[in-house]
Structure 1
Amino acid sequence: MIIITGSASIAEESMAEALRIGCEHSARSRSEPGCISHNCYIDAEDRNVIRFYEQWQDMAAVQGHFAVPESQQFVGQINALADSPPKIELFRAEALDAPF
């Protein structure tokens, strides 16, 4: 599984627009092949930060996601709203049994 985390610092006056496009992007992404989850959040400790958490079956699904024109459009939109360059990290993960 591939986990993607992302964040962007957004000015207060632009947060409603950032949330709108972020939630639309997440909802659309959940319908893509290989998407396990895709969600958009406001950081509870910093209300000017929007966060994304995604789970994908494999790297091929991630590459397909980034190739979708709407994904590229979203990146441009969120970059335009952000106070500084958004951050994105990708992780390869495997499920583990809980130790309790």
Structure 2
Amino acid sequence: MIVLHAAFPIDSEKRDEALDLIADLAEKSRAEPGMIEYRPTTDVDDPNVIRFFERYEDEAAFEAHSQTDHFQEFAAALPDLLAGEPEITRFEVESASDVEL
């Protein structure tokens, strides 16, 4: 499984535009084959930081996502929306299990 965590600092003046693009991106991404989870969220400490939590079945699903029209559209718009450098971390996970609280 491939897991991605990304944080995008969004220009406050372009936040609404970014959220519209992200909502469309998330809806279409969730329908992709091999997508386990695709969750964009706003940071509770800074609402202008959008965090993505993504889980893919495998490398093929991850690569296919990056080639979709909806991802390419978002990637092309992103530089104009950012207020700083994104932070993206990729994890390759061999196993995962639920944790009871």
TM-score, normalising length: structure 2: 0.88
Q: Quick check: 1:96 aligned with 2:97?
A: yes
The 5-angstrom pairing of residues 1-100 of structure 1 reads: 1-93=1-93, 94-96=95-97, 98=99
Q: Deviations over 1:16-40 (max 9, x none)?
A: 1111111110110011110011111
Q: Distance in 1 between matches of 2:98 and 2:74?
A: 35
- Determine what percentage of the aligned residue pairs are the same residue: 33
TM-score, normalising length: structure 1: 0.89
CA RMSD, Structure 1 to Structure 2 (Å)? 1.6
Gap change, CA 1:97 and 1:17, over 3 Å in 2: closer
Unaligned runs of 5+ in 1: none
Q: Distance in 2 between matches of 1:6 and 1:99?
A: 26
In structure 1, the residue corresponding to 2:46 is in which secondary structure? Answer: coil
Unaligned runs of 5+ in 2: none
In structure 2, the residue corresponding to 1:54 is in which secondary structure? Answer: strand
Q: Distance in 2 between matches of 1:83 and 1:98?
A: 36
Q: Distance in 1 between matches of 2:68 and 2:6?
A: 18
Work out whether residues 32 and 65 of structure 1, in 8 Å CA contact, stay in contact via their aligned partners in 2: yes
Q: Distance in 2 between matches of 1:61 and 1:49?
A: 26
Q: Distance in 2 between matches of 1:41 and 1:98?
A: 22
Q: Distance in 1 between matches of 2:52 and 2:99?
A: 24
Shift >2 Å, 4+ stretches:
96-100
